[in-house]
């Protein structure tokens, strides 16, 4: 049977979610329609909004449903920039491409970008952030820093970031896609302006997500149309998807600490844990294997029916050195020798042991290729 250790790419629908989703899909009605069928769909959507708000720790009016993480990040970043006072974006080169590419798009259109440095364990330099904000806050449009890195699992102290920015009234956007459900992400306590979420990283369906937008924040929409979602995100609302997302959000993730410890214990003799001693979520771990190509290891493991990844699955199947590890100062060769493993509710100790048993031969073969 396949050993699936790629939950950070996408995690299977949880049984509770599948049941709620299939029920919800049977309800006919556009939530914006005035007739009873429409109003029933609207009630389902609004209930899902309230349920998600309760888990996220925000007001229900702050939940804007979207099609997932990429759209939510684009809406947060481009939407904040369009309302900006300044022209400077402060971010990091280790962000997911949904953020990086949106920022680089704005850069081509004239934005200035300050790329924050980080330690070789992937921890953002908050002193540098503080210095840049002190000097250039008047020119700063916003800060964008992800809550949890989806390749290394490193946790950014987002409340500290937001507190630094708040001294100057600078809004902060955070990609919370890898964090939500896996570490404490209370929105009200975070001080964020916007936070991006996606359902499919925690057992919800692909194609559903949300941007949490604080009441004080104004955004220019990406889409114009029917005025749905407070005119921040036009388009017929996905009431069934929202219900499934709410169910996934409410269903707690298991404690992955024992699996993390087992994986570190079994794999460390062979490879280097990329986050070292930096604080991280227990469900995402990446290792580099000196002299072995990550791509070859991935294929060899796949032949052994073990699914892992080299990092982000979102680079459309193109094998490249991990931009995250490059940002952390790894050489091109080391950044090309990474494997990421990520756990979900279905993961067992046997899965981790199967990977650890397969790895010595896989690494040795990959070193010869
Ligand atoms: C941290 C992070 N942000 C954004 C995304 C993009 O989310 P989606 O696939 O829902 O568009 C992903 C997906 O890999 C991710 O891991």
Say what the pLDDT of residue 310 is: 87
CA 361 to ligand 1 center in whole angstroms: 32
Distance CA 360, CA 302 (A): 15
Q: Residues with Cβ < 8 Å from 269, sequence gap 6 or more?
A: none
- C-alpha atoms less than 13 angstroms from C-alpha of 259 in its C-beta half-sphere: 23
**pLDDT at 317 > cutoff 70:** no
The Å distance, Cα 116 to ligand 1 centre, comes to 21
Q: How far is the CA of 226 from the centre of ligand 1 (A)?
A: 26
Average pLDDT over residues 135-148: 98
Residue 173 has pLDDT above 60, yes or no: yes
- Assess contact for 114 and 139: CB atoms under 8 A: no
Mean pLDDT of 232-240: 96
Say what angle helices 257-267 and 349-368 make with each other, to 10 degrees: 30
Question: Rounded to whole angstroms, how far apart are CA atoms 38 and 117?
Answer: 50
Q: Which two tokens stand for residue 187?
A: 């929105």
Mean pLDDT of 125-140: 98
Nearest residue (by CA) to ligand 1, atom 16, is 150
Identify the pLDDT of residue 366.
96
Query: Is the Cα torsion angle 22, 23, 28, 31 positive or negative in sign?
Result: negative
pLDDT band at 320; cut points 50, 70, 90? confident
Q: What is the mean predicted confidence (pLDDT) over 77-81?
A: 97
| Residue 361: CB atoms within 10 Å | 11
**pLDDT band for position 319 (cuts 50, 70, 90):** low
Tell me if 100 CB under 6 Å of ligand 1: no
How do strand 338-342 and strand 63-66 relate by DSSP bridges? unpaired
Please report where in the chains the tokens 């006072």 appear, as a residue: 85
Residue entry with tokens 């920015």: 165
Q: Residue 207: pLDDT above 90?
A: yes
Catalytic residue among 313, 314, 326, 356: 314
Place of tokens 């937001």: 162
The better pLDDT of the pair 335, 369 is held by 335
Q: What is the DSSP letter of 92?
A: E
Q: Is the pLDDT of residue 315 over 90?
A: no
Q: Residue 294's pLDDT is what? A: 94
> Structure tokens of 242?
């929202």
Whether ligand 1 lies within 6 angstroms of the CB of 79 is answered as no
Kindly give the distance from the C-alpha atom of residue 70 to the centroid of ligand 1, in angstroms, as a whole number: 6
* Structural domains in the chain plus CATH codes: 3-12+254-368 (3.90.1150.10), 15-250 (3.40.640.10)
Q: Quick check: is 314 catalytic?
A: yes
Name the residue with the closest Cα to ligand 1, atom 15. Answer: 177
Give mean pLDDT, residues 301-314.
83
Please indicate whether residue 68, judged by its CB atom, sits closer than 6 Å to ligand 1.
Answer: yes
Cα 186 from Cα 189, distance rounded (Å): 5
What is the DSSP track for 280-322? B-TTEEEEE-TTS-HHHHHHHHHHTTEE-BSS-TTSTT-----
């Amino acid at each position: 049977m396949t050993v699936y250790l790629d939950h950070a790419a996408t995690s299977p629908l949880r049984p509770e979610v599948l049941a709620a989703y299939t029920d919800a899909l049977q309800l006919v009605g556009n939530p914006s329609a005035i007739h009873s069928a429409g109003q029933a769909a609207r009630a389902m959507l609004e209930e899902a909004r309230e349920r998600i708000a309760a888990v996220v720790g925000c007001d229900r009016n702050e939940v804007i449903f979207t099609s997932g993480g990429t759209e939510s990040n684009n809406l947060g970043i481009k939407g904040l920039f369009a309302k900006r006072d300044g022209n400077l974006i402060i971010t990091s080169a280790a962000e997911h491409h949904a953020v990086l590419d949106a920022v680089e798009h704005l850069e081509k259109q004239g934005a200035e970008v300050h790329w924050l440095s980080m330690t070789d364990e992937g921890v953002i330099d908050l002193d540098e952030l503080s210095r840049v904000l002190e000097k250039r806050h008047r020119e700063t449009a916003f800060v964008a820093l992800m809550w949890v890195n989806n390749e290394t699992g490193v946790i950014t102290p987002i409340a500290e970031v937001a507190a630094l920015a708040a001294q100057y009234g600078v809004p902060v956007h955070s990609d919370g896609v890898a964090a939500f459900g896996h570490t404490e992400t209370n929105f009200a306590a975070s001080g964020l302006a916007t936070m991006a979420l996606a359902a499919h990283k925690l057992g919800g369906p692909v194609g559903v997500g949300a941007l949490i937008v604080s009441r004080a924040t104004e955004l220019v929409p990406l889409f114009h149309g029917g005025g749905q979602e407070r005119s921040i995100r036009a388009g017929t609302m996905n009431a069934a998807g929202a219900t499934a997302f709410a169910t996934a959000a409410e269903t707690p993730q298991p404690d992955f600490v024992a699996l993390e410890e087992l994986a570190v214990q079994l794999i460390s003799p062979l490879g280097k844990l990329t986050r070292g001693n930096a604080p991280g979520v227990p469900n995402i771990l990446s290792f580099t294997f000196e002299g072995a190509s990550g791509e070859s290891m991935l294929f060899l493991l796949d032949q052994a029916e073990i699914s892992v990844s080299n990092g982000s699955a979102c680079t459309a199947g193109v094998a490249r050195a991990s931009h995250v590890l490059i940002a952390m100062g790894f050489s091109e060769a080391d950044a090309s020798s990474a494997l990421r493993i990520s756990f979900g509710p279905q993961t067992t100790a046997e899965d981790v042991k199967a990977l650890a048993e397969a790895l010595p031969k896989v690494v040795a073969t990959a070193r010869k290729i």
